[in-house]
Amino acid sequence: MVATPSIRVTSLSEAPSQYSLSERYEALIRVSQAIGAHRDPKDLFHAMATEMHRVVQFDGIAVAQYDEASNEIVWSTCEVCSEQGPIAPPDIPADETITKWVYQRQEPLVIPSLDREKRFPRMIAFLKEKGFQSVCALPLTTVHRPIGSIAVASKRGDAYCKEEVRFLSLVADQAALAVDDALNFEASQIAQTALQRKNDRLKLLLEVNNTIVSNLELRDLLRAISASIRSIMQCDGVGVALPNIESKHLQVYALDFPNNKGVVREEIVIATDEDSPGARAFRTGEPVNILRAESDRVDPLAAAEGVQALCHIPLISRNRTLGLLSLARLAPVPFSPRDLEFLTLVSNQVAIAVENALAYREIAELKDRLAQEKVYLEDEIRSELNFEEIVGRSSTLRSLLQEIETVAPTDSTVLIYGETGTGKELIARAIHNLSARRKSSFVKLNCAAIPTGLLESEMFGHEKGAFTGAVAQRIGRFELANRGTVFLDEIGEIPLELQPKLLRVLQEREFERLGSSRTLRTDARLIAATNRDLGVMVEEQKFRADLFYRLNVFPVLVPPLRERQDDIPLLVRHFVQQFARRMGKAVDTVPTETMNALVHYHWPGNIRELQNLVERAVILSTGPILKVPLNDLQALPAPAAARKIETLEEAERRHILEALDASAWVISGPNGAAASLGLKRSTLQARMDKLGIRRARAAAPSPR
C-alpha cells in the first residue's frame, strides 16, 4: 500500500469529522470489498461512490486517467450525486486540469474555496457551473505505476478537513489497486479481442486461398470470397468490379450485399473516366477510404444505397490493376488504417484468384477454338504404337498394348477378358499381327452365335452325311487356321460335352471331324475371349477346370471405355472421319459441349456403343458440325454386366419345356413335341436327357 503523502491546501479546516473512526474504517472495508467485486470500471466506480458517500460528504465525484504518451485525460467517471447520473466531462487540455497536477506531483490537492482559486481557470469555471464550492483531489498510484486521480467535490465551502483527506487517501490507495486491476483486465480483454480478430483475419486469408485452389469459375469464386470478407470485416456489403472488355469500364462482377436497396447490383457498369472514388482508386492503384460524414465525395450509387463508410482497394498483380475490391458499411463506422492494411493483403490474394480465373477462361476459350478445328486422322499416334486398328493413347491402353507386345511373339494361348463392346477382337488381331503367324490366316468364331448342335462342326468340321443336313464335307476352323490363329469369342458359352475335345486340340493338337475316324493335326494358335468370369463358372461346374487352366496361360484384361476417358476424343474423331468419308459427308467439327458430354458418359456398351452413336450422329448431321443426339445418352440401357443374360442351354431348356407343355408331354407323333420342334423323337429325347428334363409323376388319386 502506498504511504499517505503530505497534504497541500490553501486553507484547511481542523474541525473534526461528524463520522466516528470506527465508521470510517468499516466504510473503508466495505469500499475494499465493493471495489474488489467488480472488474468493469463503471460498475467499480459506482460501487465505490456508494460506499464512500456513507462516510464522506461530497456532491460530485470524478475518476480520471492520465496518458503521458498522448498528454490526454481519459475520464472513467464523472458524476453529480444530486442528478443521480454521469455528466459529460469537461473538454479541457490536460495541462489545465487538476488531474495532471496531482499526477505529476503525486500529492493531494485540497481547494477550500473555488472563488479564491486562480489556477486551472477553465476547470474551476466548469466546477462552479455545476454548483461546487470546494474540491479534494488525490493521486491514484500503485507500486507499479501512477494512474491518474480521484476527486470529490462539495457544494459547501471548506468541506474537507485533514481527517477527511487522510481517509480519502486510504480510499484512493484501495481504488488505485482496483482501477489498475480493472484496467489490466480491460487490456487483456482488448488483447483477446484483438487476437480473435487477428485469428479471424488469418482464417479469412486461408479461406480465400482454399477458395482459389478449389474454384476456377470466376463469378462463383468472387462471390465466395466476397461473402467471407463481409463476415470477417463486419461490413454490410462487399463487391468486386472488373474491367469490361468491350467498353473499357468497370463492371460489378460479384456482389454480396444482402440488405441493399437494389441500386447497386451485379453487371452494373462504372465509368473509369469519372471522378468517383472507385474510378480514382482504379486509375491510381491507391486505396480510397471515405466516411460520408466527413466527405461529400461518396459514390452516387453508394449514397443511394445509404452507405455511410466506404473503401475501395485496387486488385493489383504484376504492376497491373485487374479490378477493384469495395467494402461498404451502412453505419458511420470508418475503416481503420489497420483494416486497409489487412484488406490490401486480401486484395493481393483476390488479384491472384482473378488472374488465375482469367487464365483458366482464356485456356477454355482456346480449347473451344481448337474444338472447331478440322477433325484429323490419328495415323501418327497409331503408327507410333504399332497398332494400326487400335485408337488411343491413355496410360491404361498403353499398358495393355505393352502386354500384347510381350505375348505376341510367343505361341502361348491368350485369354482375353473384357466387357461386351470393348474391342476384344481387335486385341486378338493385334496379337496375331505382331506374331510370326501374321502371314497365315486369322480365323474367328463366335461361340455364342452358333447353335449348340452345330458348334462342334464349326470347330472341327464334318464329313458328308455325318448328320441330317450334312450334304457336303465341311472343313472346321481349327483346320482352316493351321499355322495361323484361331480366335474363339465368348468361349464361356461352349457346352460341357464339347470342352474335352477343345482341350485335346490344345494339348495334343489333333482332332477328328464329325462322322470321321481319321485323326487330323493342326498347328493353330488359340486366342480366346469372354465377358464372363470363367473362374466362377469352374466353381459352379459350368466350365471344366482343366480347360480353364489350359486357356488361362496369359490372361489379358481389356479395360472398359469408362476407364479410358482420355481416348474418347480420339475415338470420336476417328469414327467421325470414318463414317463421314463412307457417307460422302464433310463433317469436320465436334463442339466442345458435345465432346465433354461424350467424355463424361459411362458408356455401358463401350466402344461399340460409341461407334454406333457416332454413326447415327453423322447421319443426322447436315452441315460440317457433328450433331450428336445427347438425349439418347440418357435413354440407353444399363450396362450389360447389370443384366441377367440367358445362356443358350437355359434358352434351349425353356424352349423344349414350352413345346412339351403345349403337346401335353407327348413326344412322338404328328402333334408331338418333336414334330413341333422339327426334331426326331430320338434327338429330342437325347436333348431332354442331357438337360435333365423329366416329367413329374402325377399324384395318385386319393381314395374316396
Q: Is the dihedral of CA 611, 616, 619, 624 positive or negative?
A: negative
- Give the pLDDT confidence score for residue 167 in this predicted structure: 80
Residues 588 and 685 in one domain: no
pTM for the structure as a whole: 0.41
- Give the pLDDT confidence score for residue 30 in this predicted structure: 67
Task: Express each pLDDT in 17-52 by its tens digit.
Answer: 555 666 666 666 666 666 666 666 667 777 777 777
Q: Is the dihedral of CA 490, 496, 497, 501 positive or negative?
A: positive
The CATH number covering residue 573 comes to 1.10.8.60
Specify the higher pLDDT residue, 661 or 29: 661
- Give the pLDDT confidence score for residue 36 in this predicted structure: 61
Residues 46 and 163 in one domain: yes
Residues 471 and 505 in one domain: yes
- Give the pLDDT confidence score for residue 245 in this predicted structure: 64
- With cut-offs at 50, 70 and 90, classify the pLDDT of residue 342: confident
Indicate whether 515 pLDDT > 50.
yes
What domain count does the chain have?
Answer: 5
- Give the pLDDT confidence score for residue 704 in this predicted structure: 36
The CATH number covering residue 414 comes to 3.40.50.300
Backbone angles phi, psi at 277, to 5 degrees: -60, -40
Strand pairing report for 250-256 and 269-270? antiparallel
Specify the higher pLDDT residue, 583 or 379: 583
Is 349 part of a structural domain of the chain? yes
- Give the pLDDT confidence score for residue 517 in this predicted structure: 85
Indicate whether 58 pLDDT > 70.
yes
Q: Which of 34-48, 232-246, 555-569 bottoms out in mean pLDDT, i.e. has the lowest?
A: 34-48
Residues 251 and 328 in one domain: yes
Is 377 part of a structural domain of the chain? no
- Give the pLDDT confidence score for residue 559 in this predicted structure: 92
Indicate whether 539 pLDDT > 70.
yes
What span, in angstroms and rounded, lies between the C-alpha atoms of 98 and 314?
A: 49
Residues 178 and 326 in one domain: no
Is 432 part of a structural domain of the chain? yes
Of 542, 557, 572, the one marking the end of a domain is 557
- Give the pLDDT confidence score for residue 38 in this predicted structure: 63
- Give the pLDDT confidence score for residue 408 in this predicted structure: 92
- Give the pLDDT confidence score for residue 207 in this predicted structure: 66
Q: How many CA atoms lie within 13 A of 507 on its CB side?
A: 11
Mean pLDDT, to the nearest integer, of 140-145? 84
Task: Express each pLDDT in 591-635 by its tens digit.
Answer: 888 888 899 898 988 999 999 999 999 999 888 899 888 877 754
Q: Which domain holds residue 675?
A: 648-691
Is 447 part of a structural domain of the chain? yes
How confident is the prediction for the chain on average, in pLDDT? 80
Mean pLDDT, to the nearest integer, of 675-690? 85
Strand pairing report for 519-521 and 309-317? unpaired
Q: Which of 184-188, 326-330, 460-464 bottoms out in mean pLDDT, i.e. has the lowest?
A: 184-188
Is 371 part of a structural domain of the chain? no
Task: Express each pLDDT in 470-503 by its tens digit.
Answer: 888 888 888 888 889 999 999 999 999 999 999 9
Indicate whether 674 pLDDT > 70.
yes
Indicate whether 691 pLDDT > 50.
yes
Residues 626 and 568 in one domain: yes
The CATH number covering residue 135 comes to 3.30.450.40
Residues 180 and 31 in one domain: yes
Is 1 part of a structural domain of the chain? no
Is 386 part of a structural domain of the chain? no
Of 627, 642, 657, the one marking the end of a domain is 642
Residues 633 and 655 in one domain: no
Q: Indicate left, alpha or beta for 465 from its phi (over 0: left) and psi (-120 to 50: alpha).
A: left
Per-residue exposure over 153-189, b if at least 16 CB sit within 10 Å of its own CB, e if not: bbbebbbbbbbbbebbbbbbbbbbbbbbbbbeeeeee
Residues 125 and 227 in one domain: no
Nearest CA-CA partner of 138 in 114, 174, 89: 174
Of 515, 537, 557, the one marking the end of a domain is 557
DSSP 419-484: -TTS-HHHHHHHHHHTSTTTTS-EEEEETTSS-HHHHHHHHHEE-TTSSTT--S-EE-HHHHTTTS
Mean pLDDT, to the nearest integer, of 78-101? 80
H-helix segments, 252-320: 277-284, 300-304
Q: How far is CA 702 from the centre of its chain?
A: 75
Residues 618 and 666 in one domain: no
Backbone angles phi, psi at 569, to 5 degrees: -60, -40
H-helix segments, 56-161: 98-105, 121-129
Is 399 part of a structural domain of the chain? yes
* Cβ partners under 8 Å of residue 218, min gap 6: 253, 354, 357, 358, 360, 361
- Give the pLDDT confidence score for residue 362 in this predicted structure: 76
List 152's β-bridge partners, or say none: 61, 136
Residues 147 and 14 in one domain: yes
- Give the pLDDT confidence score for residue 63 in this predicted structure: 86
What span, in angstroms and rounded, lies between the C-alpha atoms of 559 and 422?
A: 7
Residues 420 and 506 in one domain: yes
